[in-house]
Amino acid sequence: MAAKFARSIRTLASITALIAAAPPVHAQNYEERVARVLKATPLIDGHNDWPEALREREGEGLWTLDLRSGLAGKPVPYNTDIERLRRGRVGGQFWSVYVSANLPGLEQVKQTLEQIDVVHGLAARYPDDFALARTADDVRRIHAAGKIASLIGVEGGGQIDGSLSVLRTYHDLGAGYLTLSHSRTIAWADSATDNPKHDGLTAFGETVVHELNRLGMLVDLSHVSEATMKDALRVSRAPVIYSHSNARALNDHPRNVSDEVLKLVAANGGVVMVNYANSYVSDAYRRWSADAAAERTRLNAPPFGGLYIGQPDKAEAAFAAWERKHPAPKVTLSQVADHIEHIARVAGVDHVGLGSDYDGVSNTLPQGLSDVTTYPALLAELMRRGWSDADVAKLAGENVLRVMATAEKVAASMEGEPPIGTPAPAATKQ
């Protein structure tokens, strides 16, 4: 009996040793699973500022710059080039045609047209890699052909300069969404990062949402105040998007989306595409960033004051010393995954996507998400947390494709409506 027991113990020990020596079953196939998902479903990023970064840094030189590779080695590294987009398995990209909200209205229109021209130029110069897309079917077709579907997002309501005719022109040139405001409150919509004036949308702002629905353009609620979010969600006939926003429950930044609004997004059928910018991901980093800005002002704030006003070298040396004592908090890929999971828990897995903000956040990005090669790593992290391939496919692109297809159906149902004229923007709610 004792011998039999000893043999059983030895057998059990051998089995345990074999199990311990074997690599974890699931750990072996994350890369394979991600590749399988992204072969069937185009990975679509809701927001990348590469065209604006190229135009700002390279000027007219962008038209001859080789965009295929090597841009990571620039003095200010780009997060994007064609070779890295391919490594990141990107299937569709909303390119932001951002211009500063501080510019006069007509200048915003001019620069927006120039930005749209840059996006068209990407497809013209690199037809084997990019193709312009307007519809969900376009994206799927282009992805199946082995190319990257290029979509356009206009990042600020000020860029239409109060004109629905300008909005329709952007649509005719391929714009797929309009962000209702950017960093500043405008004549018809309150911004998340400026003092409110309208308690949300004015009557004209609601008309803009209606016209976006009629055109089949997506209503983008990143950058807008919570009151503006609620007004837009109330009046939009089509699902909305947040092209690059996070969960406010994890980081109480006004650019993020509260749980209350996440539930409204779910009821609307929309999607929140998660942003990688450190200040929107991490509450600790947001607070550190505010402290750093205050310290810079304390040291040198021309023309009115500062400890080392007019002495930039001394101010920089003093700030470097401050940074050594107060290093920036670490922000990680895992924290971005936390935002994705929170949105999926509150709104549902059908209502979350990806909106990196690459080339728009001055390389203040989480560890593990430094450039466009890293999407598969983020998807693999979610698989490690138990996400199914079907749910990862929804996050990667199926959710936003559903939103696009639904917006197209809404536009078709409104086809008989004539274009709306442009009344003077109302300053207050009607």
**Catalytic positions:** 47, 49, 155, 182, 223, 244, 357
Place of tokens 């430094």: 370
Say if CB 142 and CB 92 are below 8 A apart.
yes
DSSP class of residue 224 equals B
Which of these, 401, 406, 397, 419, lies nearest to 172 by C-alpha position?
Answer: 419
CB-CB neighbours of 87 under 10 Å: 15
Cite the beta strand spans of 82-174 per DSSP E.
90-96, 130-132, 148-154
**SS3 at position 89:** coil
- Indicate the burial class of 350 (C-beta count within 10 angstroms; 0-12, 13-18, 19 or more): middle
Torsion angle defined by CA atoms of residues 65, 83, 279 and 257, in that order, rounded to the nearest 10 degrees: 110
Cite the beta strand spans of 66-202 per DSSP E.
90-96, 130-132, 148-154, 175-179
CB-CB neighbours of 415 under 10 Å: 8
Helix (DSSP H) and strand (DSSP E) numbers for the chain = 17, 9
How far apart are alpha carbons 179 and 155 in whole angstroms? 5
How far apart are alpha carbons 355 and 246 in whole angstroms? 9
Say if CB 241 and CB 228 are below 8 A apart.
no
Long-range CB contacts for residues 126-129, cutoff 8 Å, separation at least 24: 126/67, 126/68, 126/82, 129/82, 129/85, 129/86
SS (H, E, C) 293-305: HHHHHHHCECCCE
How is residue 211 written in tokens? 């016209």
The interaxial angle of helices 50-58 and 105-125, nearest 10 deg, is 100
First vs last C-alpha separation in the chain: 90
CB proximity list for 216: less than 8 A, separation 6 or greater: 171, 238, 407, 408, 410, 411, 412
Cis peptide before 51 (omega within 30 of 0): no
